Chain A
Amino acid sequence: DVKVTQSSRYLVKRTGEKVFLECVQDMDHENMFWYRQDPGLGLRLIYFSYDVKMKEKGDIPEGYSVSREKKERFSLILESASTNQTSMYLCASSLGTATYEQYFGPGTRLTVT
């Protein structure tokens, strides 16, 4: 069965803190994605990776960075968290390009105070 897991379901951080969100998939998928989801705005792509150590900016990369040292793991990093980064963060993985289905993790609800 397909499995995408995220390190935390809920996270509360202070402004200025460095935040790490971890995502792991067990399907040997090439592509991994980080999205944020806000009410009324839908899902917006932050970064994606199509291979180990490779990354591409999505629609809203500002304030974020990513790391993919191993195929199964994709990390999202908030270098200095701000209140406008309070959101639901969703990780996804897929076997190939956008023509392939993306499988989503359960999400991390991040609150920055």
Chain B
Amino acid sequence: KNQVEQSPQSLIILEGKNCTLQCNYTVSPFSNLRWYKQDTGRGPVSLTIMTFSENTKSNGRYTATLDADTKQSSLHITASQLSDSASYICVVSDNAGNMLTFGGGTRLMVKP
């Protein structure tokens, strides 16, 4: 069964600090991996999408890494801001069709 596990479940950091969120997956055959940011009461918004051949992709202060061999991804947030407080969801797609496998998310709180 395809699974996506994220850690930690929740995280509190001080404004200006860096943090790293983890995602492990067992989806096969792998197509791509996305990180979404979901503000409270809103729909998820895509941050990055990575295919098998990509191992790093950046979007401003967000940098995602992918190790397709170990089936792990991380999302690094640099110089955190209060607006980074949100849930971050890792989503993995297989080649079989329309099905995505969602992780449970990491809830990040950035405190002043």
Contact = CB atoms under 8 A, between A and B. Distances in A.
Given A42-B103, A99-B93, A109 B41 contact: yes
Contacts of A45: 99-100
A99 B31 contact: yes
B44 A104 contact: yes
Contact of A43 (B34, B42, B89, B98): B89
A37 B36 CA distance: 14
Interface residues of B, number: 24
A98 B98 contact: yes
A42 B98 contact: no
Measured as residues with beta carbon below 8 angstroms from the partner, the interface class of chain A is 20 to 34
Contacts of B100: 45, 98, 102
Nearest to B94: A98
Interface string B91-105: 001111111101111
A97 interface: yes
A43 B29 CA distance: 21
B97 A104 contact: no
Nearest to A6: B43
A40 B93 contact: no
Given A106-B42, A109-B41, A101 B49 contact: yes
A99 B46 CA distance: 13
8 contacts: A9-B41, A42-B104, A44-B102, A45-B100, A98-B97, A98-B100, A99-B31, A101-B49
